[in-house]
Amino acid sequence: MFPIIQNQKTMALSLMLFCRQGHLKLNAGQTNPGKSKIQQSSYPFSDLKSTQKMNRPVTERLTTNKPSGCVTECPGCAHRYLTREQSLAQKEKWLKNKLSAWAAKFEPIRSVDEESRRSYRGKVCLSTQWEYGSWRFGLMRNDTVIPIHDCPVHTQQIRDAVSLFSARLPEADLFPMAYYVQTGNQVTLVIKSKQMPGLLWLDDPLITDLKNIGINGLWLHLHPCAGKKVFAKNGWHLLSGSPQSVDESKFLYGPRVFHQLIPLLYSQALTAAENFLDPAGKDIFIDLYCGIGAGLARWQKKCPNLIGVELEGEAVACARVNASNAEILRGKCSDRIPQLIRWADSHPRDGDRLLYVNPPRTGLEPEVLGWISSTYKPDRMAYLSCSAGTLRRDLTHLAATGYEVIQITPYDFFPQTLHVETMVFLGPET
């Protein structure tokens, strides 16, 4: 997910990366660059004390061997010593406690098999530091980067790329690198300077080695104020390859966009949402915080009356390719409410009104909540949340304005960590 994080509680959550919407900022509790969606302000992690309860030592930790390649000092994966069953049970118990008002609505947590809980993270934001004549890539702790070059939850591609760059990049005086960011096949080296450094290190052998491991976009990002904010709007330079890549689902993405981990599990979550929402030809469908359009690409096959909203410009450009039949508005969802009202009113009420939302950790904006319950009034709504705290707040509001929770399903998109995401299905009270 980083800049200097002095406190171990915060560090235990910092491996999760990339927030949503706006410019990438570090958020202790999230791995999404930014769901870039990357956000314009840092997200408060109000559930910190509760998550620490999940991180307390258990007997099994004393008898379970450390995973191969895992660094003992690294606090990134709080559940690394737990079995799959223990980890899922803790996450489900914690989430039911946070959403206790709807505990009866829970379905079993969805996850992947044991093998898929390793080498799944194809998206990282790592602090970097030149020390003892070489580069270290990892998490910052007490002004020192804990190197996690062989992290077992990173994909082999990331481990290979880190190995290449750690051996080939020049020293910090010549190359003041602050962060290493990788989103799939796109790599960004964040330089804490406004001056372009020398590029003699970028020779043909390195470019060939990067191509051989599947890296097809290498960026240099000049960001003299790099710190809590990892990315800035300007200062992007493509050094090699293509500015965009295509993932295994054939979706176009770039170096700054949110890209959900574990595509198979994410596809299952979208399938569940699609089955519940059940879009049809006469329905109208709104998708808020739509990212690169992975959901829109599904909805458009069954519902031609479709519109999405996304803040991050690169994600919007990708979404317009990935879901070419959908109308997509760029901007904050709260700022686009007038356009959404006009768009919805322009369609006859011959079918149902459907809504899918996948907001950042801050949850739904107050204006959006008010619009949902008082103006749009969807017949069916699916809400994918990455924060139990803001989800509870939003569900409480929706329940007070005539909506009921029909089903809650946790998704383990971040195995080995504390993090758990939640899909909620809602409809008008009957």
Higher pLDDT pick, 46 / 246: 246
Domain-embedded: residue 329: yes
Instruction: Write down the pLDDT at residue 41.
Output: 30
Domain-embedded: residue 420: yes
Q: What token pair was written down for 13?
A: 């959550």
Mean pLDDT (whole number) for 272-297? 98
pLDDT digits (tens, 9 = 90+) for 361-415: 999 999 999 999 999 999 999 999 999 999 999 999 999 999 999 999 999 999 9
Q: How far apart are CA 288 and CA 307, in angstroms?
A: 9
Domain-embedded: residue 313: yes
Domain enclosing residue 303, as ranges = 263-428
Closest CA relative to residue 280, chosen from 260, 254, 258, 306: 306
Cα separations (Å) of 9 from 18, 28, 55, 294?
18, 9, 10, 33
Domain-embedded: residue 11: no
Q: What token pair was written down for 40?
A: 């314009």
Domain-embedded: residue 423: yes
Domain-embedded: residue 370: yes
Length reported for the chain: 430
Domain-embedded: residue 29: no
Closest CA relative to residue 255, chosen from 217, 213, 206: 217
pLDDT digits (tens, 9 = 90+) for 63-107: 356 788 999 999 889 999 999 999 999 999 999 999 999 999 999
At position 213, the amino acid (one-letter code) is: I
Domain count across the chain: 1
Domain-embedded: residue 19: no
E strand segments, 258-402? 284-288, 306-310, 327-330, 353-357, 380-385
pLDDT digits (tens, 9 = 90+) for 121-165: 999 999 999 998 999 999 988 889 999 999 999 999 999 999 999
Q: How far apart are CA 78 and CA 430, in angstroms?
A: 42
- The model's pTM is 0.86
DSSP assignment string, 231-262: --SS-EEEEEE-S-EE-TTS-EE-TTS---SS
| Domain CATH number, residue 361 | 3.40.50.150
